[in-house]
Structures are given as C-alpha cells and as structure tokens.
C-alpha cells in the first residue's frame, strides 16, 4: 500500500495548484483522477485561451451562502501572484476587458505550466484511476482510498473534484458524496453561467434571430449585468445572460435594456422636436441590429416619421426597448453550464485552510465548494486561491 502526506482527488485547476504548492513544501503528494487527461476544463476555458484570472478578484464577485468565506484565500493569493507565476514561465498574457487576463497563446500553456510545477515539486499524478471507496483509517487517523490501481493511504485527503457542470469533460457529483459520507452539509446545486431557454411561444417568435448579438443590460430581482446578449435557437445566451443565470429564479421575468448606453426616450423626443423625417425604426437601427428591432418592436413600430408620433407612442417605443420583458422557462442545464452553483457548505470548512472543521485532515477546494465566481476569470482564480490555501496547510 502506497503512503502519502496527502492524496488529492481531482487533477483540475485547484487540485494541481494544491499539489504543486504542497509538493513545493517537501510534502509527498499524490493526485488521482478518473479522467485520462489532467486539467480538461483548463484546456477549454476562455474559448481555448484561458481567462486565468481577473485583476478584480474580490469576494464581491462571488456567489455563496456565506459571502465572506472566500475573502481569506483571495486576500492571500492575489491575481498578481498568479500572473507572476505565468510570467516566470515566459507565457505571454494580455488584459482583455474589465480586468480579464488571458493567454496570448493557448490555454494549453497554463495547463502545461501547472503540470511542470507539479513535476518540479515531485508530485505523482495517476490518471484513469477509478476510486471505489474512501475510508477514515481509525488507527492512523489518515485516509484509505481504494482504487482500481490499488489501495492508497494519505495523512490528509483533498477533494478537488469540481461539480457536475461540463459532464462531457468527466464532471461528476463524487465530491458531494464524499462530503455527505463524512457528515458535511451541502448547499443545493444548480447550473451556473448557463444559457436560458425560451417558452415554446417565444422560441417560435424569436428563432429567426438565432446568432444575432447586441449589447444589453439584463436585470432580475436579485441583480443586473451588462454585456452582449446572444439569441440562440433555444433562447438567450451571451455574457449578460450567463451572469444573470446565477441569480435568476425559475418563472421570474427578465427586464432587458437593449439600448444600455443611451437615454432612448430623450433621444426620440429630441428627434421629434427637431422635426426629423426619420422613423423610430431607423433611429433604433443605429444602436440595435435591424433584425432585433424588427422582431422585438413589431407591436410598436411603424414607418411613419418620428415627428408624426405622439408622446404616448414615443414612450411605448422607449419602454419596449429599454424595458423589454421576457420570461425564460428553464436553463440549458449542467450540459451547457460553465460552473456549478452551491456545493459543500462553507460553514463546515475553515476559510483559511479549506479543512473540515469536524474531520481533521479532510479538505475541499475549488468548484466543489459553495463558492461560484462571476464570468471573467473569477472561477479559475478561486481554484488557484483555494488550492494554494490548502496546499500551504497540508
């Protein structure tokens, strides 16, 4: 039976960061994963360019039942710390928008960097390794992990298994089962950063817009987000929709501002006062794709010049495009979700070390924990910060 200072279950972003950190401190570390390749999610992140951090990675940009839990780890491992690591490996990067940091090359550079860090730290990685059971060793107070590659023993066990989002990459709920096995609570999970689905009636009305995108600001009772909105064959996607999906509730209407950077009412009234011969449709076409204007505004738009419109008509047009209301009926589910909301209840964990409060030596890191970042590099930074916190504590 092989014995290690720690066995880490999960060879994703947080697991590899934890392993490299602990191995670099002289610990004997084993990472096991049922997948054939390490870091699958890293390779597809950021459209293949890996949005590996965000300069504004603070707890305000994370969803959790305990909004303060992420503060400690994020404060001790900042975006610049990971950027310095990337730069030390001579990986070129750039800031896109709103603090989002991407590789200039491919996501594989970050993937290879983490594996290199693990090799330098003497970390052993076993892939294609199926875990049959995990038990507490009552004698040593460590953990016994029964696998199809033999029994493994670790003084500590780190669960870095992620959530059920992106199942085609091997995601599962295994980490939650381990949490329940050892008495830790779970916060109900749901797909996050996921497209939303139209009702049958709305889908029929808007299907012709599939593939059309426009800047928008989308709001619901719990929040509001700006960014591009994309019509799909089934509903809505794009950054603003992916963000709002994390706080939208089933059956709740969305209010969408399709002219987020202009006072449309004032603009239309100004055109009327100037006795413009332009139609409202022509004015709107300056800001919104023509196909969206035609479809969304079908009930309020005519080809008459704006000067011939009454104040009531102008108000109706402005209301239609500044406060377009649509009620999705569902999300696209975990198959299309970038992350998982909910997970292991943070009240059961130390915010400094990620260790279970009631089961010494048991750690949970990354997406398996009830901490979910907004779009734009926040989730990968949580993987680095939580993995680093546990790696320093092992």
Residue pair 360/394 in contact by the 8 Å Cβ criterion: no
| Beta carbons within 10 angstroms of residue 316's beta carbon | 15
Cβ(17)–Cβ(383) under 8 Å? yes
Instruction: Give the number of other CB atoms < 10 A from CB of residue 92.
Output: 11
Sorted by where each begins, the domain ranges of the chain are: 2-191+336-393, 196-331
Q: Which residues of 17-43 are buried (b: 16+ CB within 10 A; e: fewer)?
A: bbbbbbbbeebbbbbbbbbeebbbbbb
pLDDT at 141: 86
Check residue 137 and give its pLDDT: 87
Burial class from Cβ neighbours inside 10 Å (0-12, 13-18, 19+) for residue 250 reads exposed
Residue 128 is classified by DSSP as S
Give the model's pLDDT for residue 31: 98
CB atoms within 10 A of CB 200: 8
In this prediction, residue 97 carries a pLDDT of 86
Average pLDDT, 10 consecutive residues per value, the chain (394 residues): 93 98 98 95 91 97 97 98 98 94 96 98 97 92 95 97 88 94 98 98 97 98 96 98 97 97 95 93 95 96 93 96 98 96 98 97 98 97 98 98
For residue 218, how far is the Cα from the chain centroid? Answer: 17
Residue 218 confidence (pLDDT): 98
Crossing angle for the helix pair 264-273 and 311-322, nearest 10 degrees?
A: 150
So what CATH class is 196-331? mainly beta
**Residue 82, H or E segment:** helix 79-88
Query: Does this chain's domain 2-191+336-393 share its CATH topology with 196-331?
Result: no
pLDDT at 344 (0 to 100): 98
State the number of CA atoms in the 13 A half-sphere of 201 facing the CB.
4
- With beta carbons less than 8 A apart as the criterion, state whether 62 and 387 touch: no
Q: How confident is the model over 168-186, as pLDDT tens digits?
A: 878 889 999 999 999 999 9
Around Cβ 196, how many Cβ atoms within 10 Å?
A: 23
What CATH homologous superfamily does 2-191+336-393 map to? FAD/NAD(P)-binding domain (3.50.50.60)
H or E element that contains 244? helix 239-244
pLDDT reported for residue 46: 87
Q: Hey, how many other C-beta atoms are within 10 angstroms of the C-beta on 168?
A: 8
């Amino acid at each position: 039976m092989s014995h290690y200072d720690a066995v880490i279950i999960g060879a994703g972003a947080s697991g590899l960061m934890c392993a490299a950190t602990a191995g670099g401190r002289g610990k004997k570390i084993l990472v096991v994963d049922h997948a054939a390749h390490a870091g699958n999610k890293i390779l597809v992140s950021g459209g293949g360019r890996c949005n590996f951090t965000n300069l504004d990675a603070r707890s305000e940009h994370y969803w959790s039942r305990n909004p303060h839990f992420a503060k400690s780890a994020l404060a001790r491992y900042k975006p610049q710390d990971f950027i310095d690591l990337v730069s030390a490996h001579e990986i070129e990067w750039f800031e896109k928008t709103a603090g989002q940091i991407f590789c200039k090359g491919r996501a594989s550079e970050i993937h290879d960097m983490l594996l290199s860090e693990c090799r330098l730290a003497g970390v052993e990685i076993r892939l294609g390794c199926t875990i049959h059971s995990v038990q507490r060793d009552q004698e040593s107070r460590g953990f016994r992990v029964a696998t199809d590659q033999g029994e493994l023993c670790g003084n500590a066990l780190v669960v870095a298994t992620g959530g059920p989002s992106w199942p085609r990459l091997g995601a599962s709920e295994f980490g939650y089962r381990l949490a329940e096995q050892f008495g830790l609570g779970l916060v109900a999970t749901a797909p996050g950063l996921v497209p939303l689905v139209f009702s049958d009636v709305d889908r029929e009305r808007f299907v012709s817009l599939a593939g059309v995108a426009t800047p928008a600001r989308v709001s619901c009772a719990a929040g509001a987000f700006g960014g591009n909105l994309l019509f799909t064959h089934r509903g809505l996607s794009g950054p603003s929709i992916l963000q709002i999906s994390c706080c939208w509730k089933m059956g709740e209407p969305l209010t969408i501002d399709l002219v987020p950077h202009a006072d449309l009412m004032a603009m239309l009234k100004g055109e009327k006062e100037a006795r413009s011969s332009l139609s409202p449709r022509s004015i709107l076409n300056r800001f919104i794709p023509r196909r969206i204007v035609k479809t969304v505004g079908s009930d309020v738009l005519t080809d008459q010049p704006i000067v011939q419109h009454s104040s009531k008509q102008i108000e109706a047009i402005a209301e239609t495009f500044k406060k377009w209301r649509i009620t999705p009926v569902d999300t696209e589910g975990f198959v299309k979700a970038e992350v998982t909301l909910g997970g292991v209840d943070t009240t059961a964990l130390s915010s400094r070390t990620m260790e279970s409060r009631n089961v010494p030596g048991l750690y949970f890191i990354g997406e398996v924990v009830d901490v979910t970042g907004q779009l734009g590099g926040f989730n990968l930074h949580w993987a680095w910060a939580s993995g680093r916190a546990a790696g320093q504590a092992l």
